[in-house]
Amino acid sequence: MADKITLGYTHLSGCTGCTVALADNYAGLLTLLDRYVDLKYMPTLADVRHVQKVDVSFVEGSCCINDKLAVEELKETREKSTVVVALGGCACYGNITRFSRGGQQNQPQHEAYLPIGDIIKVDVYIPGCAPTPQMIRNVAVMAYLLLKGTKEQKELATAFLKPLMMAAQRGTTACFCELMTEVINQGLCMGCGSCASACPVNAITHEYGKPQGERDLCIKCGACYNQCPRSWFSFDVVENYEAINEAIMAALQ
Amino acid sequence: MGAELGKYKACVSARSTDKEILKHAQDGGIVTSLLGYALDTGIIDGAIVAVNKEFAAKHQSLIMRDNTNWDMVEPWRPFPAVVSTKADLLAAAGTKYNISPNVSMIKEATRSFGLDKVGIVGTPCQMQAVRKLQLYPIGARDVGAAVALAVGIFCMENFPYQSILQLVEDHAAMKMESVKKMEIGKGKFWIYGKRGQVVQLPLKVTHKYEQPGCHVCLDYVANLGDISTGSVGSPDGWSTVFVRSKIGDSVWANAMAAGVFETQPIEKVKPGLELVTKLANEKITKNKNTLEARKTFGVGKALRSPYI
């Protein structure tokens, strides 16, 4: 189909969990591929594995700067894509690869892993470890509407994607520390509990109505910070939650 | 203004027809009755509510805490719990006036508690959190679609636990464990003792104990709940109810048909929507000013605004 958007998937130092999350849309993934997205290259799910020219690239994993090939693939991805999406905690914030101490067989000389935003310009973040299938789905549908939709759909998609673009501009760290410095220390936390439910490793509990982080457990995925309604919140988007949810579900019918 | 009450399909003054619930309820027993009805009819198969320490100690499988010595836990501290029976629901009734992180259970409710259809009660900010995690499910896999009913409660501001302690024990000179009910209404903070004593504090005293996170909130009547409710606008023993979403509309219509609530038109009761609108505008205006003031806080550096 001519009006599909083209999608690529560059796989760097990630555990394939993000790929699995994408695939966990089940029938939704097939509908996406059927109607909206032409998957140009992807190491796991497509025959073509090398970077191609595409509208949108998902990048999974952080980039090992001791590995020339990884750095080059990342730069090539940037050059050949209109929009680069950092998919998952590793690509956005380094996640567990921030703790790399090298010595990982069979490449013991690999020791420095950077979030891709430290090397190239990234347009959109999808944080989380692993990112959720629904989040990937929502961003995919919105990316389609942004590039191929009507004027109203473009406006909606812009509003929806704006916070994720701002997250990409904000920087390459977001762990419990960001929740502490950017939300709690800014007098913005009201103790709703979102961060604790978002944390994939149960590092956050609530004591006397405020989050308490176990920083030894934190894997730096950025889920708590980005799930927090006081890190970023768009009334324009969230107040229309019913219509947007319905539109996304209708797009996948 | 004009958007201060959010979108809604209907607004009524209502109270539960269940006398037992009214005995335990804060006002009209709306939240407890509504969730009870939703449980009975299978609209939800469990709900996240705030419970007290006595309940939590007795039902430790319904909450998420490790190694808590419940004898050491203070009275009136709220804990989020997942309840799935009417008796448990009833035990949780009543406002606690300090924040219970209910959203922290929303993922676990669909995991170890095994709920497919989750009910949740929360303040306006918690409704915002729920809607954000439905649209942007960053750390909430398969949770958004499982939220079957979100009931919002009106909220002017909330208190940290230590503030409640100060207000009750210092200002009102009562022991926390002797308190039967707390309430904010008619411009005062009311504390009712188990032996019948009543202490009232002017709200002027309570303001400095509010948590600062509440001072940037731009929502008074839980605009993002499926249904939202609170005492303001209705006579004593009744609650004002906004029916907002399609889900809320269908649940409310069915509950009405089943005779769960009796209602009066909001136009017919005193003080009515006029007071709700006035208070909503007061809150929003005050907090918008706070957001403006935060921009000029400090030297060459502003405090963040979460809104984009």
Q: pLDDT of A126-141, one tens digit each?
A: 999 999 999 999 999 9
Tokens of A156: 């909606």
| Number of structural domains chain B divides into | 2
ipTM of the complex: 0.95
Contact (CB, 8 A) for B231 and B240: yes
Bridge-based pairing state of the strands A124-126 and A113-114: unpaired
pLDDT the model gives residue B186: 84
> Is B308 inside a domain boundary?
no
Using CA atoms of B106, B227, B4, B50 in order, give the dihedral in degrees to the nearest 10. Answer: -40
Residue A84, SS3? strand
Reply yes or no on whether the pLDDT at B106 is more than 70: yes
Assess whether B105 and B237 both reside in one domain: yes
The model's confidence at residue A92, banded by pLDDT at 50, 70 and 90, is very high
Assess whether B204 and B234 both reside in one domain: no
Least Cα distance to B255 among B2, B5, B21 occurs for: B21
Write out pLDDT tens, residues B220-266: 999 999 999 999 999 999 999 999 999 999 999 999 999 999 999 99
Assess whether B225 and B187 both reside in one domain: no
> What domain range is B170 assigned to?
159-209
Q: Rounded to whole angstroms, how far apart are CA atoms A184 and A168?
A: 21
Contacts of A238 in chain B (CB under 8 A): 128, 131-132, 135, 224
Assess whether B152 and B272 both reside in one domain: yes
The mean predicted confidence, pLDDT, of chain A is 92
- Token pair 């009275």 is found at B75
Residue B256 CA from chain centroid, whole number = 22
- Pick the residue of A20, A189, A197 with the most B CBs within 10 A to test the interface with B by mutation: A197
Assess whether B272 and B192 both reside in one domain: no
Residue A31 CB coordination number (10 Å): 17
Contact (CB, 8 A) for B38 and B272: no
Question: What's chain B's length in residues?
Answer: 308
> Is B101 inside a domain boundary?
yes
Write out residues 146-175 of B within 8 Å (CB-CB) of A: 158, 160-162
Assess whether B166 and B147 both reside in one domain: no
The model's confidence at residue A209, banded by pLDDT at 50, 70 and 90, is confident
Asked if B306 lies within 8 A of A242 by C-beta distance, the reply is no
pLDDT the model gives residue A119: 97
For domain A176-227, which CATH number applies: 3.20.20.140, 3.30.70.20, 3.40.50.300, 3.40.462.20? 3.30.70.20
The mean predicted confidence, pLDDT, of chain B is 93
Reply yes or no on whether the pLDDT at B176 is more than 70: yes
Taking the CA of residue B138 as centre, how many other CA atoms within 13 Å lie in the half-sphere pointing to its CB?
31
Contacts of A209 in chain B (CB under 8 A): 98-101, 158, 160-161, 211
Contact (CB, 8 A) for A213 and B123: no
Contacts of A208 in chain B (CB under 8 A): 77, 160-162
* Architecture of the domain made up of A5-172+242-251: 3-Layer(aba) Sandwich (3.40)
Asked if A132 lies within 8 A of B106 by C-beta distance, the reply is no
Least Cα distance to A179 among A221, A132, A216 occurs for: A221
- Count Cβ atoms within 10 A of the Cβ of residue B177 and give its class: 0-12 exposed, 13-18 middle, 19 or more buried: exposed
The model's confidence at residue A105, banded by pLDDT at 50, 70 and 90, is low
The answer to whether B40 contacts chain A (CB < 8 Å) is no
Reply yes or no on whether the pLDDT at A163 is more than 80: yes
* DSSP tag of A59: E
> Residue B139: which of A200, A233, A237 has the nearest Cβ?
A200
Percent of chain B beyond pLDDT 70? 99
- Complete DSSP assignment for B25-41: -SSS-HHHHHHHHHHHH
Asked if B101 lies within 8 A of A138 by C-beta distance, the reply is no
> Is B74 inside a domain boundary?
yes
* Range in A45-49, B101-105, B142-146 the model is least confident about: A45-49
Percent of chain B beyond pLDDT 90? 81
What's B198's domain CATH number? 3.10.450.750
- Count Cβ atoms within 10 A of the Cβ of residue A142 and give its class: 0-12 exposed, 13-18 middle, 19 or more buried: buried
For A42, residues 6+ apart whose C-beta sits below 8 A from its C-beta are A8, A9, A11, A19, A48, A49
Assess whether B26 and B147 both reside in one domain: yes
Contact (CB, 8 A) for B141 and A133: yes
Tokens of B112: 């170890």
Write out pLDDT tens, residues B157-168: 999 999 999 999
Using CA atoms of B99, B104, B106, B109 in order, give the dihedral in degrees to the nearest 10. Answer: -110
For A63, residues 6+ apart whose C-beta sits below 8 A from its C-beta are A12, A13, A70, A71, A74, A113, A114, A115, A116, A118, A119
Assess whether B49 and B129 both reside in one domain: yes
Assess whether B262 and B186 both reside in one domain: no
> Is B5 inside a domain boundary?
no
Question: What's chain A's length in residues?
Answer: 253
Reply yes or no on whether the pLDDT at B116 is more than 70: yes
Q: Enumerate the domain spans of chain A.
A: 5-172+242-251, 176-227
Residue B102 CB coordination number (10 Å): 28
Q: Which helix H or strand E contains A237, and what residues bound it?
A: helix A235-238
Residue B243 CB coordination number (10 Å): 23
Q: How far is A149 from chain B (nearest CA, A)?
A: 19
pLDDT the model gives residue A1: 47
